[in-house]
Amino acid sequence: MSSVIAKASLSAPVLRKSIAAFTARPPGQRFAGEFSAMLLNKNPKTTALFLIAAAFATALAADDKDAVKEEDLSKDLGKLKGVWVCLGYERDGEEFLNRTARDAMWNETLWFHAGPPKDDPLNLSWEKKGKQTSAAAVITLRPATKLQAIDLTWRSIPARDLMPKGIDPAWEQATWDETKLDSVQRGVYSIEGDRLRLCWGELGGARPTSLKTKRGDKRTVHVYERKKE
């Protein structure tokens, strides 16, 4: 069979024609004639061309699938694009969405740039009573997960004294050890209208499995509202 394939592959015009004919068929009909010939062993050259065309078509289908995934991720990034201002948080199964909670979160603000699907820039800032700090990171959205998944890698760190304290240790302490900043911080999120919910795991740790908290689970869900233009 290998010798037949080698001979068949020498005829480039024939090969191109076979591939074009193969990929032009509906998926359910691509294997009709050639597969029958292969079973009956009546047309080895056709069988060889069929195998080559099938390999090419499989590769093209994989590329198409990757392109669809990237398009979906771009759409998801588009939904995140913009500035989000913290409204408060949920912890131990209870939501805290008031001025006190916002102050405790140092009025945390996220700015998603929504550029490339991978390593998209994210700016973060915290401000309270005239004091402020900021940081930079890159994010990558992860497809094919039960929850909408996001990975964050820190690029610069905020001032520790100007960050929230005791509300979400996994988030607050992520940048304390600068030698670990190349580790990924995994999270999950959801968007409903102009409301964003985000939950982060520990730096380099497992991804959270829920956007709802319960008493004693040591998880905190950050709640944001999209800033109006």
Domains of the chain, start order = 2-67 (no CATH), 81-226 (2.40.128)
d(CA 137, CA 173): 15
Could you tell me how many residues make up the chain?
Answer: 229
In the chain, % of residues over pLDDT 90: 58
Q: Bridge partners of 136? A: 123
pLDDT at residue 129 is higher than 50: yes
Query: How far apart are alpha carbons 82 and 70 in whole angstroms?
Result: 20
Question: Of 148, 75, 77, which Cα lies nearest the Cα of 112?
Answer: 77
Classify 140 in phi/psi space as left (phi over 0), alpha (psi -120 to 50) or beta. Answer: beta
Q: Provide the pLDDT for residue 99.
A: 97
Amino acid 59: pLDDT? 43
pLDDT at 74: 82
Helix then strand count (H, E) for the chain reads 6, 9
- For the stretch 69-123, pLDDT in tens is 556 778 899 999 999 999 999 999 999 999 999 999 999 999 999 887 678 999 9
> What are the tokens at 154?
């820190």
In this model, does residue 192 exceed pLDDT 80? yes
Pure H helices in the chain: 2-9, 12-24, 32-40, 44-80, 99-104, 169-172
The pLDDT assigned to 228 comes to 87
Tell me which H or E stretch contains 11: none
Residue 41 pairs with which residues in a beta bridge? none
